[in-house]
A and B are shown apart, each in its own frame.
Chain A
Amino acid sequence: MTWLDIVILIVKCIVLTLAATTMFAYFTLFERRLLARLQNRVGPNRAGAIPLPGGQRILGGWLQPAADAVKLFFKEDVVPVMADKWVYIMAPGFAVIPALIIWVAIPLGYWPDGAGGNLLQLAEIDVAILYLLAVTSVGVYGIAIAGWASNNKYSMLGGIRATAQVISYELALGLAVLGVVMQAQSFRTDTIVDAQTTLWYIVPQFLGFVIFLVASTAEVVRAPFDLVEAEQELVGGYNTEYGSMKFALFFMSEYIKLIAMNAIAVTLFLGGWKVPGLQTLADAVTASFGANIGNAVFGLTSLGAFLLKVTVLSFVSVWVRATLPRVRYDQLMDLGWKVLLPLALINVALTAIVNVILPDNIWISGIVLFVLGLATLIGATILSRPKYTSSQVTMVKNNARS
């Protein structure tokens, strides 16, 4: 490895980091506008609007993320007197670094560099899936030590809740991913994407996909599992004592982790950058314009398909946030340990059994697994119904009437 290679690698890392932060900036705008529509409001629609001759204004709000960033930069940066100073300063870094380095192992598309490599995946490593799980589990430190170092009881409660929640849902998350690994028989993300050419893993691993979606939402402590920063009980949770860019770093890490989780879900279950007709298009372009342009078209189209799928899942995330109320703490723990973990184990067992009995035909085994997974989900739903109907439950005893 020469010095030039290292310089190229560093440039690639910087580009990836900037891409991730830009995605974060525009995801906040996407979420604010979408939440506003779902709640029958308008949302930020002023910054950067371009006036048209007829009095119309278009593209309102597209500069809102920049305006927010400038506002946060100009706020005063305070360190509380009683805080543990060094840990307090380190905590935002602990939060944001895992959120950024998780992106290196995700194939964002396929742009052949002519030497058998892929320009849109920074690290093609043997243990990519394990790497993703490792970085996800390290991500909790930022929240935990921020809560402790602030020397504030609300922050502390937020940190403790975060630790317990992330440990509980990590197991279900890992086991849901294990189903995909068994199906593809590899830990490599590029092999997993290649294996989904004929059939996306959402069909054979439907149960795993559902578990992954729920567990990843809990893992990035997002609504309806956002007990960590429950505003009504904990002021702001672990980031109560943080202001200015330090708060912005926490905010950023949370959103980048969410987008990264959606990107992982796309890679594992929705075929990654694969889209029907991609190869045909690239072949046609290569035939008429040469290999370089063909590769570029292939790369950009696959990147576009990947981002489109991530956007669909991001829409689901915002939709869920707008729809579901926050769960209670005991419900959170029950869901993680008594529902998701057994379901994930059942999924692993089903995947193993079906793939050993019906190893040859990908369609038959896929559909059998889909039906079994759906049946398990329906069974679990029936089993975990509330024991009483709403007419049998007395919420508050009314003493005044009797």
Chain B
Amino acid sequence: MELIVFAVTAVIAIIGAVAMVASKNAVHSALFLLLNFGAIAVLYLLLRAPFLFATQLIIYAGAIIVLFLFVVMLLGAERHEDNRDRLAWQRPVALVMAGLLLAEVAYVVVALPAQAPVTTDEGFGAPEVIAEQLFTTFLLPFQVTAFIILAAIVGVVVLHMQEKRQV
């Protein structure tokens, strides 16, 4: 049962990822990316991590792609797709790096000795457990991340204020 769900979801995720890169239209790309993120959220659910499932949906599907769509729609970027790619050197580099990543994954799967699956109890992904870990063991990384995000917010406000002063 779980295997069937996993197989279907994985295929959908891969189709979404490939179609996102391949499609010419920016809005179609954003929608395929949404499909991919949704499939990954379901994979989190299969891994018994409901909290990650919800945050994946709220943050990636619910906020980031909506912002992508908003910007693309507002600027009409999907119509002025420039055929002369100004960043042409990026394409071969990206292909090479993707090949390297794939080779690494293949090496890990094929060459390394198989390990027994990590077994934990069902509740290890519960929100209470995550919160406890986050606010005790991993408090410093958590606070550092919070400060980085705060700095980004302040930066946005400052940039906006400078723009206003010049006008």
Say yes or no: A87 contacts B63, CB within 8 Å. Answer: no
The answer, yes or no, to whether B54 is at the interface (CB within 8 Å) is: yes
Distance between A104 CB and nearest chain B CB, rounded to angstroms: 13
Say yes or no: A145 contacts B127, CB within 8 Å. Answer: no
Complex Cα spacing A118 to B34, Å: 33
Interface residue count on the A side (C-beta < 8 Å)? 29
Complex Cα spacing A87 to B29, Å: 12
Say yes or no: A137 contacts B62, CB within 8 Å. Answer: yes
Complex Cα spacing A137 to B34, Å: 13
Say yes or no: A126 contacts B50, CB within 8 Å. Answer: yes
Distance between B131 CB and nearest chain A CB, rounded to angstroms: 10
Say yes or no: A127 contacts B70, CB within 8 Å. Answer: no
The answer, yes or no, to whether A156 is at the interface (CB within 8 Å) is: yes
Option from A138, A147, A167 in Cβ contact (under 8 Å) with B67: A167
Complex Cα spacing A125 to B122, Å: 13
The answer, yes or no, to whether B61 is at the interface (CB within 8 Å) is: yes
The answer, yes or no, to whether A258 is at the interface (CB within 8 Å) is: no
Complex Cα spacing A140 to B70, Å: 11
Contact with A along B50-61 (1 / 0, CB 8 A): 110111011001
A residues 114-169 with Cβ under 8 Å of B?
Answer: 125-127, 130-131, 133-138, 140-141, 144-145, 147-148, 156, 159-160, 163-164, 166-167
Distance between B156 CB and nearest chain A CB, rounded to angstroms: 13
The answer, yes or no, to whether A324 is at the interface (CB within 8 Å) is: no
Say yes or no: A137 contacts B58, CB within 8 Å. Answer: yes
Option from A87, A130, A164 in Cβ contact (under 8 Å) with B70: A164
The answer, yes or no, to whether B73 is at the interface (CB within 8 Å) is: yes
Say yes or no: A163 contacts B50, CB within 8 Å. Answer: no
Say yes or no: B31 contacts A134, CB within 8 Å. Answer: no
Say yes or no: A167 contacts B63, CB within 8 Å. Answer: yes
The answer, yes or no, to whether B22 is at the interface (CB within 8 Å) is: no
Contacting residues, chain B, for A160 (C-beta < 8 A): 70, 73-74
Distance between A384 CB and nearest chain B CB, rounded to angstroms: 21
Complex Cα spacing A337 to B1, Å: 46
The answer, yes or no, to whether A187 is at the interface (CB within 8 Å) is: yes
B residues 53-111 with Cβ under 8 Å of A?
Answer: 53-55, 57-58, 61-63, 66-67, 69-70, 73-74
Say yes or no: B27 contacts A134, CB within 8 Å. Answer: no
Contacting residues, chain A, for B69 (C-beta < 8 A): 141, 144-145, 148, 163
Considering only CB atoms, which chain B residue lies closest to A132 in the complex? B54
Considering only CB atoms, which chain A residue lies closest to B34 in the complex? A141
The answer, yes or no, to whether A382 is at the interface (CB within 8 Å) is: no
The answer, yes or no, to whether B126 is at the interface (CB within 8 Å) is: yes
Contacting residues, chain A, for B55 (C-beta < 8 A): 130
Contacting residues, chain A, for B74 (C-beta < 8 A): 160
Considering only CB atoms, which chain A residue lies closest to B61 in the complex? A138
Instruction: Decide if the interface of chain B is mainly helix, strand, loop or mixed.
Output: helix
Complex Cα spacing A156 to B127, Å: 39
Contacting residues, chain B, for A141 (C-beta < 8 A): 34, 66, 69
Option from B27, B53, B57 in Cβ contact (under 8 Å) with A87: B27
Contacting residues, chain B, for A140 (C-beta < 8 A): 66
Distance between A145 CB and nearest chain B CB, rounded to angstroms: 7
Say yes or no: A159 contacts B73, CB within 8 Å. Answer: yes
Considering only CB atoms, which chain B residue lies closest to A133 in the complex? B58
Complex Cα spacing A170 to B62, Å: 10
Given A87-B27, A87-B28, are A127 and B66 neighbors across the interface (CB < 8 Å)? no
Given A159-B73, A163-B73, are A131 and B66 neighbors across the interface (CB < 8 Å)? no
The answer, yes or no, to whether A8 is at the interface (CB within 8 Å) is: no
Option from B25, B62, B70 in Cβ contact (under 8 Å) with A134: B62
Contacting residues, chain A, for B50 (C-beta < 8 A): 125-127
Say yes or no: B61 contacts A134, CB within 8 Å. Answer: yes
The answer, yes or no, to whether A1 is at the interface (CB within 8 Å) is: yes
Contacting residues, chain A, for B62 (C-beta < 8 A): 133-134, 136-138, 170
Considering only CB atoms, which chain B residue lies closest to A6 in the complex? B1
Say yes or no: B54 contacts A134, CB within 8 Å. Answer: yes
Contacting residues, chain A, for B54 (C-beta < 8 A): 127, 130-131, 133-134
Say yes or no: A130 contacts B31, CB within 8 Å. Answer: no
Considering only CB atoms, which chain B residue lies closest to A135 in the complex? B57
Contacting residues, chain A, for B58 (C-beta < 8 A): 130, 133-134, 137
Distance between A2 CB and nearest chain B CB, rounded to angstroms: 10
Q: 4 tightest A-B contacts by CB?
A: A137-B62, A130-B54, A134-B57, A163-B70
A137-B62, A138-B62 are known; give 9 further A-B pairs, CB within 8 A.
A126-B127, A130-B58, A130-B127, A133-B62, A134-B54, A144-B70, A147-B73, A148-B73, A160-B73
29 sample A-B contacts, Cβ–Cβ < 8 Å, listed by A number: A84-B25, A126-B50, A127-B53, A127-B54, A130-B54, A130-B58, A131-B54, A134-B54, A134-B57, A135-B57, A137-B58, A137-B63, A138-B57, A138-B61, A138-B62, A141-B34, A141-B66, A144-B66, A145-B69, A148-B73, A156-B73, A159-B73, A160-B70, A163-B66, A163-B69, A163-B73, A164-B70, A167-B66, A167-B67
